[in-house]
Amino acid sequence: MADPVTKLIVGGVTSAQGFLAAGVHGGVKPQKKDIALVFSRVPAAAAGVFTTNKVKAAPVLVDMERIRSGRGQAVVLNAGNANACTGEQGLRDAREMALLAAQGLEISEELVYVCSTGVIGHPLPMDALRRGIPEAVKALGPDGAAAAEAIMTTDTVPKTAAVQIEVGGQVVTIGGMTKGAAMIHPQMATTLAVLTTDATVAAPVLQAALRRAADLSYHRITVDGDRSTNDTMLLFANGEAGAPEITGPGEALDAFQAGLTAVSVALAKMIVRDGEGATKLIEILVRGAQSDEDAARAAMAVAQSALVKTAIYGRSPNWGRILAAVGYSGAEMQPDRAMVRIGPVLVAERGGAVGDRSTLDEVVRYLARDDVQIVVDLGLGKGTATVWTCDLTENYVKENAGYIS
């Protein structure tokens, strides 16, 4: 069977038919937009993936309850305050956020999801949200740019993506927006992500597809190894494209999965490219492992290594740090069978160096690029995995040494 055709398009969370969005300044932050709203004109199937941190923010707990229904129609989001570690008051405030949106939209409160991001441990400024959420309802429109801007914290740019696929002869669109720049690590990254599609997908199939997409995207990125209390990835499928319903395995699900994964990978890579203080996007490809799980384990160890990340920043051809990280990753490894490439340059094989000083000089020149690839072949099997990270710079320390809002 041929691989499904996935067409990346310019767009975002409102690219799919029947979705509207808004982003406004409500007063959670002093000046910037801080309240976003995404709305489907009709009720939709809903799926969600959430942080595995045992310390879960109030909106995560509310959403985890509501996602059991497999239904949704809107999500209201705020930046500037995480509503995490806020006890019973935080739960009441999260539910009130959903109620305010539901009242303005004239829909059931149970169909509204809530997301928050920002500083942990402070009560939500509910007066600002009581003013801002009704304004967001009034501002709803077909352009999702303001919503993507309103969920930013230390992000330097909004992050949006969209694709088109074909299901049953009908064009189907999948789009989304996300945020994140630090506290980024699998299970999940520190992120809010809202994905939308006009495909018709049964809720259990939608949930499985989102989990698969997350495992190949958001669970394959790391900036600093920290995991958040607020991670939320939501997907709504409203069926407005009129394509046949996807109820199980087959070509239609394959096409949908490919499109959903493509959007998720695009958004996830935007997060690490925008990592706090980062200057480079780094892709680590491990192949030849005994299993895909081993490959992912090895790739993530390289991606997490502060020594590797600082070496890439400093354009240092220190490939030994890469092999060392693979060696302690827990993946099965035989050093005399391992090979390392940095970009197009073979720097090590059979556990030892390849080339001479000119080889290392070529690596230094390659590392001047904004996008860097590291390839490790373990020579043991067919397992493969790709992980994305960024370099580690002094600006990351400066950004987080004084972050309080």
Active site residues: 190
β-pair type (35-50, 345-349): unpaired
Quote the CA–CA distance of 173 and 23 in Å, as a whole number.
22
| Tokens 């373990």 belong to residue | 378
Instruction: List helix spans (H) across 44-185.
Output: 58-66, 87-105, 126-138, 145-150
3-state secondary structure of 179: strand
**Which of these, 371, 148, 179, 375, lies nearest to 278 by C-alpha position?**
371
The b/e string for 281-320 (b: 16+ C-beta within 10 A; e otherwise) is bbbbbbbbbebeebbbbbbbbbbbbebbbbbbbebbbbbe
Quote the CA–CA distance of 70 and 239 in Å, as a whole number.
14
Apex 226 CA angle, 220 and 228, nearest 5: 90
> What's the full length of the chain, in residues?
405
Q: Write the CA distances from 277 to 1, 116, 274, 391, 399, integer angstroms.
A: 43, 23, 8, 8, 7
**Which of these, 363, 339, 333, lies nearest to 351 by C-alpha position?**
339
Read off the tokens for 3.
């691989």
Q: Are 51 and 189 in contact, with CB atoms under 8 Å apart? A: no
Peptide bond into 188 cis (omega under 30): yes
3-state secondary structure of 234: strand
